[in-house]
A and B are shown apart, each in its own frame.
Chain A
Amino acid sequence: MRVATIALHTFKESVREKVLYNLVAFALLLIGTAILFGSISVGVEQIILITLGLTSISVFGLLIAIFIGIDLVSKEIERRTIYNILSKPVSRPEFILGKYLGLLFTLLVNTAIMTVGFYAALFYQKRALLLDDLRFLGAVYFILLELAMVVGIAVVFSCISTPVLSAVYTFCLYVIGNFSADLRAFGQETQNALLGTLCDVLYYLLPNFGNFNVITQVAHAEKIPGYLWLGNSLYALLYIAALLGMAVLIFEEREFR
């Protein structure tokens, strides 16, 4: 109950952030311009629209997750509003979980708005929407899973660092996470056993976002394999649980002087 209260409060707080509206408006604008790009790309209009549209959702979702996620905990500490909350019958894990879920809900709503914009652009171009077009929701689902992990990372950094550094660290980890398969491949190629092991450890520790990008597949009407649905969902769930566990452990030890 208290988690839900904090989550709802966090949602209401984050939807008042002006940066959120700027980002969503910009994303919708970019999705709109995808129609223009599509119209000058003979034969691949739809592919251009789908790729650019879904990528916009992913990129702007990432920016929203980072910009709002990093402030989640640090702003409460900086403004000392946390004193009022933690002096109530609210445990620290409840606070972290509530904050996380609140932001996740914000992202869900924003992604939904951007997805509606994407389908509107698709309808404008095709003059119709087919049942088959629902396959793009698969890509949106994976984007959401990815964003849920990014918010988790942002919350961890928000518990230990300043907002600016948290943003930098989260973004770096996101970029690294997109190339973690390359890290493993490098480890397998190298002759140095120690380096190989290190690459392997890092591969398992760092988030692996590579499998979450199915934009190209759905743009080319390829089916998303069943194992990817299950694997990505489980992976995201476990990774988020680990991140939140870490955030709670850090936050439990944190003193507010």
Chain B
Amino acid sequence: MLALETIELTKDYRLGFWRNRVKRALDRLNFRVEAGEVFGLLGPNGAGKTTTLKLLFRLIFPTSGTARILGKPLEDISVRFRVAYLPENPSFYEHLTAEEFLNYVASLFGLSATERRRRLGELIEQLGLSASRHVPLRRFSKGMIQRLGIAQALINDPDLVFLDEPMSGLDPLGRREVREVILRLKERQKTVFFSTHILADAETLCGRVAVLHHGRLQGCGELNTILRLGVSTTELVVEGPSAEVLAELMPYTSSLVRTGERVRLEIPEESQVQRTLEIILRSRAKLISVNPVRRSLEDYFLQKVGASESSQEVASVYDSS
């Protein structure tokens, strides 16, 4: 079952005094998120991640295209009973305490007093806000605000959770807590859709990702598939190879670094790994390690972003006239 589907979702902003300049913030975005998966929307700042999320919650309206959340059109706000949203750098009513604010949010969902108390107690405990539940929000640190933001998003026990840069501005401890919350949601078969520019978070949490740049989708797919795309190298460490053996290995290596007795070789072609291993094993050299070097998401990201930047096609600002 699809949790989210965007169909040619496009957003233009009109700029300038006469509003005659158009900036395309999102360009015909198409992707699907399956129920129960953790999906990451990646991209550098200004890529269109927040725009996408604001469109999904109708805080802004699409210029063209549409999307469906849990099979319902965006205009149908009844679906909001089953979804949650944490905006980027959330801001709450400073005069309220954490408990008062969560109570207010729970009331908007029409939760009964008993249910409210139960959910509130659970979330406050889960997100480590017990000690500060009666403290006005103006005294909250950024990390505490972020945790409260997650608590308010989860108050209705949603099936689909949208988190906009949930780790932004958090210290390592705070990031770990947020990661744990996302993993707990995953364990409970909830769908999590989060935007981030922190690739390590996506690598740790996401099953599938979509990469955005200049408002355009650069790629979308299983994280493992994306990581395996293109050339992956294999790193071999050999001790005491003779000059003849090294000469024999040279045609298969892209890099050869000697450190004392040891030599580190990089084999770019997977098909040549077997051949190089045979050469090493039949010599007197000692094979220390064989490591397939996975292509990191960062490499993929930089390649995609680089390709997009070099493309003249992406004319994000143009005159409407």
Contact = CB atoms under 8 A, between A and B. Distances in A.
Interface of A: 1-2, 5-6, 9, 13, 16, 79-81, 83-91, 255-257
B300 interface: no
Contacts of A2: 107-108, 110
Nearest to B101: A84
B60 A255 contact: yes
18 contacts: A5-B108, A9-B104, A80-B89, A80-B91, A84-B92, A84-B105, A84-B152, A86-B57, A86-B59, A87-B59, A88-B80, A89-B81, A89-B108, A91-B77, A255-B60, A255-B61, A256-B60, A257-B60
Nearest to A257: B60
A255 B38 CA distance: 29
A84 B104 CA distance: 11
The 5 closest A-B pairs by CB, nearest first: A87-B85, A89-B80, A83-B87, A5-B107, A255-B60
Contacts of A86: 57-59
Contacts, number: 64
B65 interface: no
Given A84-B105, A90-B108, 7 more contacts: A2-B107, A80-B90, A81-B93, A83-B87, A84-B152, A89-B81, A255-B59
A57 to B, nearest CB: 27
A250 to B, nearest CB: 14
Interface of B: 13, 54, 57-61, 77-78, 80-81, 85, 87, 89-93, 95, 104-105, 107-110, 152
Contacts of A13: 93, 95
Nearest to B149: A84
B15 to A, nearest CB: 11
A83 B90 contact: yes
Contacts of A1: 110
A242 to B, nearest CB: 25
Nearest to B59: A256
Contacts of A83: 57, 59, 85, 87, 90-91
Nearest to A82: B59
Contacts of B77: 89-91
Nearest to A85: B108
Nearest to A1: B110
A237 B246 CA distance: 93
B83 to A, nearest CB: 8
A95 B171 CA distance: 35
Nearest to B61: A255
B87 to A, nearest CB: 4
B59 A88 contact: no
Contact of B57 (A6, A9, A16, A87): A87
Nearest to A88: B108
B104 A5 contact: yes
Nearest to B87: A83
A85 B104 CA distance: 10
A1 to B, nearest CB: 6
A123 to B, nearest CB: 36
Contacts of B54: 256-257
Nearest to A76: B93
Nearest to B58: A86
Nearest to B95: A16
Nearest to B82: A89
B307 to A, nearest CB: 28
Contacts of B78: 89
Contacts of A85: 108
A19 B53 CA distance: 37
Contacts of A88: 80, 105, 108-109
A5 B61 CA distance: 26
Contact of A89 (B87, B109, B152): B109
A224 to B, nearest CB: 40
Contacts of A9: 104
Contacts of B61: 255
A2 B105 CA distance: 10
A13 B61 CA distance: 29
